[in-house]
């Protein structure tokens, strides 16, 4: 009799610990997304969830994480949408419906190293479109409708080494666009 009660108490305690573990990551890991921790990096997978606005998700409490939002229905990235996502190092936004990126949309992402924006409907890279992405090393923005890139669009991306830009609608690139990015290693 007593042993059973003890077992039940232990069972409840261990499931509470499990819930607590998910609570520590944040609410989206319990509902909308799946979260997996590996070698001190958390991968938050929210792909193909029908997400229309970033207000439908919330940041996780983790010092370094990858946020996968590929294949959703995002149309617009607004000012400060990512302000509380400071731990994100890789952000996947490919295969959405993004046509508008407001100035300051990426505020908060000063630690972001890789940004995937492929297969969207972005028409231009203005001077302020990529503002704040001071650690960005890798930008994938192929398969968009880009017709225009501002001369200063990349000028604050001092860490940028890879930019994938094919399948847009560019006929020319501004002179000196890669002036402030590191010298490429030609291979």
Ligand X SMILES: *[C@@H]1O[C@H](CO)[C@@H](O)[C@H](O)[C@H]1NC(C)=O
Binding site for ligand X (CB under 6 A): 80, 83-84
CB-CB neighbours of 173 under 10 Å: 12
Structure tokens, 24: 């520590």
Q: Which residues are 114's β-sheet partners?
A: 90, 138
- Would you say the C-alpha torsion 156, 160, 165, 170 has a positive or negative sign? positive
Least distance in angstroms from the C-beta of 164 to ligand X: 29
Torsion angle (degrees, nearest 10) of CA 65, 47, 73, 57: -50
Strand (E) or helix (H) holding 14: helix 2-25
Q: Which residue is nearest to ligand X (CB)?
A: 84
- Helices and strands (DSSP H and E) totals, the chain: 1, 11
User: Quick one: 94 or 108, whose CB is closer to ligand X?
Assistant: 108
Edge-to-edge strands, sheet with 34-38: 34-38, 41-45, 65-68, 88-92, 114-116, 138-140, 162-164
Least distance in angstroms from the C-beta of 108 to ligand X: 9
Least distance in angstroms from the C-beta of 83 to ligand X: 5
Least distance in angstroms from the C-beta of 106 to ligand X: 13
User: Quick one: 83 or 165, whose CB is closer to ligand X?
Assistant: 83
User: Quick one: 82 or 143, whose CB is closer to ligand X?
Assistant: 82
User: Quick one: 63 or 84, whose CB is closer to ligand X?
Assistant: 84
Least distance in angstroms from the C-beta of 105 to ligand X: 11
User: Quick one: 84 or 176, whose CB is closer to ligand X?
Assistant: 84
């Amino acid at each position: 009799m007593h042993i059973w009660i003890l077992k039940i108490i232990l069972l409840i305690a261990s499931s509470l610990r499990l819930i607590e573990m998910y609570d520590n990551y944040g609410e989206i890991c319990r509902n909308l997304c799946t979260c997996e921790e590996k070698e001190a990096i958390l991968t938050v997978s929210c792909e193909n969830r029908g997400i229309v606005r970033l207000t439908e998700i919330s940041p996780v409490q983790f010092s370094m994480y990858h946020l996968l939002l590929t294949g959703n229905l995002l149309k617009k990235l607004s000012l400060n949408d990512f302000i509380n996502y400071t731990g994100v190092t890789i952000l996947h936004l490919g295969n959405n419906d993004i046509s508008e990126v407001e100035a300051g949309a990426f505020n908060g992402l000063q630690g972001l190293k890789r940004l995937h924006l492929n297969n969207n409907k972005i028409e231009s890279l203005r001077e302020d479109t990529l503002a704040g992405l001071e650690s960005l090393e890798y930008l994938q923005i192929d398969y968009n409708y880009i017709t225009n890139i501002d001369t200063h669009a990349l000028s604050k991306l001092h860490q940028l080494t890879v930019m994938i830009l094919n399948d847009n609608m560019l006929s020319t690139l501004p002179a000196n666009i890669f002036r402030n990015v590191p010298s490429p290693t030609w291979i």
